[in-house]
Amino acid sequence: MAKRLTCFPCHRDVGSLKFHETSFDLLKDLLIYLNKINKDNLDGLSKYSGSFKQKRLVEYIFLITQELRLDPTVGYHAVELLQRFMVKHLTDTLATIPSQGAHADEATSYEDVIFDNLKDKFPLILFSCVQLANKLFLHRHMIDTSTAVQFLHSLGLSVSKQTLLESELMVFKGLEYRLNVLNPLMYVEVILEVLGHNEPSIPVERLYRICHHALQFITLDQTAIYESLLRITIQCVSPTREQREKFVTVTEDRMLLGAGVIAVATYILCFKKRQQVVCELSHITGISRRSISDFAHVTLVHIVGTSSSAV
């Protein structure tokens, strides 16, 4: 009997990604590792988690990667780097505001100065995250400093090479020199690889193409999608602040996102296999079939709603 993975390879281009080539032992180790990383991330969430993944910011990053003809993974990776850097930067900076002996208006003044300075630097910080993400994939299309400065000038940002390099170094230091974070596409690829191992009849190569579109849609429209999912989960149209705060562990759960993306792709590509796939995804990730199905249904409703409004 073939071995099955019940716990929890990172490739890139849609056309060049090869499935069914990773050994069972390596897959098993990767699944355990990714599951641990996901749990550790959920255990250490900041109150600012998700604050820098709004639609406009994600759109900017995706458009930059598209304009510079970078691999799509760079965009997802840059979103994660931006989120991690900004959360740490804000947490560390706001912690320097005097808390004792200062009047409320003085504290507010400190915060205003911090956010004003951040507003001026933010476009360059965002671009620096894209640059750093791209440099992780050395075998891909690289953007040298001259090209980067020229591109920024075309966007109306007048910066020098020195300023750009200083910005990248600031972000790099702020991330504590750790750039190899796990982005959502990696989770999709890992779970899909395991799905293909456990259920060889599932057309994972074809699903992978649909997954790219589904993940992009969810990433761009995640605020609305997770809001709908929250309301379904608590069965209430007006969630309390406490309920929203607790739900952050759902919005930041990469394993749920990966399984949900694959479920959405299955509903679109091979509807008759949806129950089989959802069952297997639950088996792989440890997430309930109900949770995966709810995620897929909510996303599909938003996809259909967006398509209908565009007609």
**Is 85 within 8 Å of 125 (Cβ atoms)?**
yes
- How far apart CA 156 and CA 152 sit, in angstroms, is 7
Q: Is the pLDDT of residue 161 over 90?
A: yes
List pLDDT tens digits, range 61-118: 999 999 999 988 999 999 999 999 998 888 888 777 665 445 555 555 666 777 777 7
1 confidence band (pLDDT: 50, 70, 90): very low
Q: Is the pLDDT of residue 142 over 80?
A: yes
6 confidence band (pLDDT: 50, 70, 90): very low
pLDDT at 141: 77
- How far apart CA 79 and CA 163 sit, in angstroms, is 22
Q: At 34, list the tokens.
A: 């990714």
> Max alpha carbon distance in the chain (Å)?
70
pTM: 0.86
